[in-house]
């Protein structure tokens, strides 16, 4: 089993819709989690950190469920510019473990 697993998609979503995707992890001792965004094989960029209490940044909400070992990302009122690959990342000590990403395509 991969340490961090994501549905590769693609998720095809109409503009303005709400979309959510999950990421599961296998190491229960994992300390920190992140969502990164990557456009067309460019460098990844941090979208948001994920806290146990859940956190929100504008249209984006991230949640962590330690009991079931998954994190989620919810995007509300999706924009064309949200089209990208979303990478789930687990952090531990000096290493980050990356999921393969979920591709999101927002259609007009």
Partner 1 sequence: NAGVTQTPKFQVLKTGQSMTLQCAQDMNHEYMSWYRQDPGMGLRLIHYSVGAGITDQGEVPNGYNVSRSTTEDFPLRLLSAAPSQTSVYFCASSYSGSPTDTQYFGPGTRLTVL
The footprint of partner 1 (CB under 8 A) covers 4, 8, 31-32, 41-46, 49, 87, 91-101
CB of 46 to partner 1, least distance (A): 6
CB of 29 to partner 1, least distance (A): 12
Between 26 and 32, whose beta carbon lies closer to partner 1?
32
* Cα–Cα distance measured from residue 25 to residue 30, given in angstroms and rounded to the nearest whole number: 8
Residue 32 CB partners (closer than 8 Å, separation 6+): 49, 50, 90, 91, 92
Nearer to partner 1, 58 or 94 (CB): 94
Determine the 3-state secondary structure of 74 from DSSP.
strand
For the chain, how far is it from start to end, CA to CA, in angstroms? 37
Q: Rounded to the nearest whole angstrom, what is the least distance from the CB of residue 60 to partner 1 in the complex?
A: 16
């Amino acid at each position: 089993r991969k340490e961090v697993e994501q549905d590769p998609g693609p998720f095809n979503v109409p503009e303005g819709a709400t979309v959510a995707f999950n990421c599961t992890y296998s190491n229960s001792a994992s300390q920190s989690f992140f969502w990164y965004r990557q456009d067309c094989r460019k460098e990844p960029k941090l979208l948001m950190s994920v806290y146990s209490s859940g956190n929100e940044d504008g249209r984006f909400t991230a949640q962590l469920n330690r009991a079931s070992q998954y994190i989620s990302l919810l995007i509300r009122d999706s924009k064309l510019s949200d089209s990208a690959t979303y990478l789930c990342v687990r952090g531990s000590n000096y290493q980050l473990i990356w999921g393969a990403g979920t591709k999101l395509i927002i259609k007009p």
